[in-house]
Amino acid sequence: MSREPAPSALAVILQRALSTAGLWAAVFLVLWVFGRYDLAQLGGFLALLSVALAAQLETYRLLRGMGAEPDVTVGLLCGGGLLVAQFLGLVSVDANVALIGLAWAGVLLTLLAKPDETKAWVVRNPTVFGLLYVPFLLLFLGAFVGWESRGRNDGLWLAVWVVAVTKFTDVGGLLVGIPLGRHKIAPNVSPAKSWEGCVGGVALSSAVGAAGAWALGQWAGIDFHPAKGALLAIPIALVSIPSDLVESHLKRRAGVKDSGATIPGIGGALDLVDSLLLVAPVAYLLLSTLTRTRVG
């Protein structure tokens, strides 16, 4: 039986570019529609909740591919309940909780030390793992969405900024890594990722961080200097790379290329948010301590 030829590099870039443009258009459409009724925060939260639950479901599918048996219903109910409770102010997020998030991110990074092994602690408690891997980490992004300052949705726009600088690291890595990538960063986890692509991703992320900070100052009235935006984007971009690799490790252990097939050129919901997971607590601490804005 003949196999279909693999898509060319140009086709991959074009497909992902179209999907990325469509996703950003959908995000701003949701914020605009809800914003007309002074419900922009609710719109942002519902978008985050939908993606988080879809990504958590795909995590459970990966875990099943590793031989685990997560209780999907209980996990999703707990994950959704956690995010809703945080949005309603029933669960508070502060710097201490963010430090716990950083510690958990460090634990997840240990998966990359032996990428050819399936860790027992991952599959032994798969329901809890899926809950902590997606909803708990995205809780810190939700903390931005639910924050309002002086009657404005400052936190919501900071969340958009964090998403932009994180995801454009992926874009820069793709644009530079496909044509120029020669030195692989983690060939046993993600053969397509290269050091050249990482440099390109961080550079583009920093540029987007500066442009985004300028835009927030111009149109949202947030005091966020472009130079500070460029600098803060660098650690966020650097963390997003191993964050992406953690999901790549889980996919390889499950024997799949993508977590899903709902987004052409990207994959599933988990493929969409993978780089944001470890970034979220880092971004929370950076933006709440190193800018004139405040989260929480």
Domain boundaries, the chain: 9-289
Does position 21 have pLDDT exceeding 70, yes or no? yes
The alpha carbon dihedral of 250, 256, 258, 259 has a sign of: negative
pTM higher than 0.85, yes or no? yes
Distance CA 132, CA 147 (A): 22
Across the range 5-21, mean pLDDT stands at 71
pLDDT tens string 119-176: 999 999 999 999 999 999 999 999 887 665 555 678 888 999 999 999 999 889 888 9
pLDDT tens string 218-275: 888 788 889 999 999 999 999 999 999 999 999 999 999 889 888 887 889 999 999 9
Across the range 59-85, mean pLDDT stands at 97
Across the range 201-224, mean pLDDT stands at 91
